[in-house]
Amino acid sequence: MEKQPNSRTCFLCGRQNDVGLRVSWYNDHDARQIRATVTVPDHFNGYPGVVHGGIVAALIDETAGRALLLDGDIERLMVTLKLEIRYRRPTPTGQPLTVVGWVVQQSASRAKVAAEVRLADGIVTADGEAVLVRPPQVFLDRWEPEKQYWRVYDD
């Protein structure tokens, strides 16, 4: 599978973010999905041994949104307008999790995307859908200097 680019400072993918998760996503072109494997450390728990719901939501949000990059065009990045999460069971810390995302429908200015978090045995602990929109120009202007750091990094 083809690896997606990462940034420097993003909480989920930033390679220079000392408190982030440093997740790497991969394009699965055959399945028309993206996927990543992540082990969330205990310091991101809500209850002992359970990933905080906000961290689970962040994983779903980022994974669903990155599904727009399946064909490699970073200009397709959008921002979340609406996010709905369903917590199906506790998501454990300290265990490998797989996050999978896909595009439900897309236009030039808006997209509906989805993602889920799975345990190693395939059981889904949480899933969600998001509505994404093109960001305002001020957002794009702030992103422009950071683009040079948006690349595929070695794991």
Mean pLDDT, consecutive 10-residue stretches, the chain (155 aa), reads 93 94 97 98 97 98 96 88 98 98 96 98 98 93 89 85
**C-alpha 139, offset from chain centre:** 19
Cβ partners under 8 Å of residue 92, min gap 6 = 49, 50, 51, 119
Which stretches of 4-121 are assigned E, i.e. beta strand?
26-28, 33-39, 45-47, 50-51, 79-87, 96-106, 110-118
Helix residue ranges, H only, 82-154 = 137-143
> Could you give all domains of the chain from N- to C-terminal order, each with its CATH number?
2-145 (3.10.129.10)
pTM: 0.95
Give the pLDDT of residue 51: 98
